[in-house]
Amino acid sequence: MTYQETYAGRRSGTTSPHGGRSAARMSPPPALPRRGPAGRRTLTALFWLGLVAAVLPWWLDTPAGSLAGTADALTAAGRITGLVAGYLLLVQVLMMSRLGALERWLGGERLSRLHRDIGATLLVAVLAHLSLIVVAYAGLEKKSILGEVGTLLSDYEDMVSAFVAAGIMVAVGFTAIRAVRRLMPYELWYHLHLFSYAVLLLGYGHQFSNGAQLFESGPVRTGWIAAYLLVLAALIWGRVVAPLRFNLRHRLRVADVVAESPDTISIYLTGRRLNQIDLLGGQYFRWRFLNPGCWWQSHPFSLSAAGNDRWLRLTVKVVGSHTADLRDLEPGTRVWAEGPSGTFTAAHRTRERALLIAGGSGIAPLRAMLEELPAGAALIYRARTPADVLMHRELDWLAQARHTSVWYVIGSRNDSGPRQVMSPEGLRRLVPDVTRRDVYLCGPSGLVDEAVRVLRQAGVPRRQIHLATFEL
Amino acid sequence: MRRAVLAITGLAASTTALVVLKGSPGASHVAQDLPADQASVAPGPRLTPGPGDSTTGPASVRPSAEPTTSRTSGTKTSTTAKATAAPKTTTSAPKTTTTRTVTGPVVSYKYGSLQVRITLSGTRIVDATGLGMPQSGGSAMRSDAVQAQYSGTSGEVVAKQSANLNTVSGATYTSNAYKQSLQAAIDKA
């Protein structure tokens, strides 16, 4: 089976008598203007500026040539790693604060990758700080390592809580290792991970009672406390105030639940002032359906249609117990939503044309994005069987309205048709200008990983590839 | 994950670089100009380095400017060599004719040892500082607290012109050692 003979074949320009559900106004909205990388660059600059500002007090406080012996050098290294760790901890919490600017400039996917990488660095920094200080002080006071730990715990203020904080951090870091994490249910892992907030609290005291740069009142101490307060404010704003405001304003309710295929449902939501939501196709919300079975769980799902002033729609594949419960949602059920989040949108493209590659239910955000991309986009839709193809009427309608080429590539990963398409040559044959396009990928991680590899082989630059995966 | 490894390597490298740059005793002057750039460049590999580097540029100007003045008065102008050092440090230049420094004996106490050096203009104490005070952990805090209260051109020593100083709370041993060395220095002067 080659791709020419696959189900439905090429659909560009096909007229559909029904047109599917029209997703928005009948005249297609103009393509979204591009947003530059200015927001992301500003945040990167702020991060580095903050890091320098965190270590600068040590630099200014330490006379040159004053680190005579090994113990002095170790103490200094311990202080630097301590300052870095204190700063990174604040960055970690800030990144998880769901602050609108972060979610829209960096995007949830990039945030979670950064959170993991910075988390690993933070853990190493904390352990280095702890061991360097203990070894250095033991050397200075001519004690054994264990004796020094005892002295630190008994004679120094706030050190018991600091050691507890370090212990929690090690535990959280350990459970975040992918192999370990897979062994436990998501909910358990999530609640264990919440203990990280305790680290913020328990580690706070010792920085000020024992930190060489912080124990004295002055601009450094004031600045450090201000940084804590800022992060706390961001946390309260992003996690409490902003969602509260959004939900009081829009009051979303379930309007209908529609089966798209045997194992996929679409949930339609209505609410107030839907035209005022600053929403881009491809973004997601974290949804909490307020009925007895589901209210305690919050899950991210993409919208499967661009913003319009009548309804919102999310399309969900039934894979677990929570998604199974969603099939039985009653119309009128209240919905608590946090968002919109994500940089997987037409506005974040770097070129004028785009290639979208969807796998299975990964079509949802791409379907929403199609309404906002400039004409000339291309969509490759991978599905295992024809029955797994979702919303193909809508796609046909969009293909016509927005001059988009759509290919359905059906079959398992090892069939010759899909294999031929998912190769550098195959992609180039379908989309000759693939290297000059932005490529948006959404689907199962196996497909996404493979597609990224093939695209890189075909010569598509990394920054033109956009991914929507929530898995770490 | 590759980025995490890079970040951790960057952390280790830049921490070592900072310590080495501060620690090299001979090259104190060179070290003050050089590390300012180094400090901002060293953590580079951790993320996309582009914008981070350009913004750390202006911040890196300050550390090289500030410490040179405070440091030279703190460590470089030791007990002798006043006249030769004077042209460099603008603060002491106008009063080179009458100022002299006297250093008290080394006094050992519970957390380490220290000695006090005073600068006199005629018979008046115009500056005082503790030398060799312990710089580790809790001891460092006591050292710093005592330095902050007693030393400097506007500290308690200059204000009271004697070794009859208020004890710094939480740093009794350090205060007493300081006073002992100071008294000896005043007696010598």
Say whether pLDDT at A148 is over 80: yes
- Percent of chain A whose predicted confidence (pLDDT) is above 90: 42
The pLDDT assigned to A66 comes to 74
Within 8 A of A210 by CB-CB distance, chain B residues are 137-138, 141
Tens of pLDDT along B90-121?
Answer: 444 444 446 788 888 888 787 778 889 898 88
Please indicate if any CB of chain A lies within 8 Å of the CB of B51: yes
What average pLDDT does range A157-178 have in this prediction? 90
| CA–CA dist A130, A135 (Å, integer) | 9
What is residue A227's three-state secondary structure?
Answer: helix
A209 phi, psi to nearest 5 deg: -80, -25
One-letter amino acid of A45: A
Mean pLDDT calculated for residue range A302-316:
90
Helix (H) or strand (E) holding B68: helix B61-71
Q: What is the DSSP string of A340-359?
A: EE-S-SGGG-SSS-EEEEEE
- CA-CA distance, B127 to B149, in Å (whole number)? 13
In sequence order, the 6+-apart residues with CB closer than 8 A to the CB of A379 are A355, A356, A357, A358, A366, A370, A395, A399, A404, A405, A406, A407
Q: With an 8 Å Cβ cutoff, are A66 and B137 in contact?
A: no
Please choose, from the candidates A50, A223, A77, A218, the residue with its C-alpha nearest in 3D space to the C-alpha of residue B59: A50
Asked if B5 contacts B46 with a C-beta cutoff of 8 angstroms, the reply is no
Nearest to A98 by CA among A241, A307, A200: A241
**pLDDT of the residue at A36:** 75
Amino acid at site A432: P
ipTM of the complex model: 0.76
Between CA B33 and CA B43 the distance in angstroms is 18
B77 touches chain A (CB under 8 A): no
Instruction: Please judge whether A49 and B43 are an interchain contact, meaning their C-beta atoms are less than 8 angstroms apart.
Output: no
Among A79-93, A279-293, A431-445, B60-74, the minimum mean pLDDT is found in B60-74
Per DSSP bridges, beta strands A284-289 and A299-302 are: antiparallel
Chain-chain contact of B23 with A63 (C-beta, under 8 angstroms): no
Q: Cβ–Cβ of B134/A121 closer than 8 Å? A: no
pLDDT for the residue B52: 36
Question: What per-residue confidence (pLDDT) applies to A72?
Answer: 83
Identify the pLDDT of residue A179.
Answer: 84
B35 contact residues in A (CB cutoff 8 A): 59
For residue B91, what pLDDT is reported?
Answer: 43
Both tokens of residue A430? 């379908």
Q: What is the pLDDT, as a whole number, of residue A87?
A: 96
What is the per-residue pLDDT across A334-391, written as a single tens digit (0 to 9) for each? Answer: 999 998 888 888 988 988 899 999 998 889 999 999 989 988 899 999 998 888 899 9
pLDDT of residue A28: 54
Tell me the whole-structure pTM to 2 decimals.
0.68
Confidence class of residue A27 from pLDDT cuts 50, 70 and 90?
low
Q: What is the mean pLDDT of residues A235-246?
A: 94
State mean pLDDT over A62-69.
77
Backbone dihedral angles phi then psi of residue A467, each to the nearest 5 degrees: -115, 145
Locate A81 and state its tokens. 């790693």
Average pLDDT, chain A: 86
Question: What per-residue confidence (pLDDT) applies to B35?
Answer: 41
Average of per-residue pLDDT across B78-88:
39
pLDDT (tens digit, 9 = 90+) per residue, B123-133? 888 889 888 88
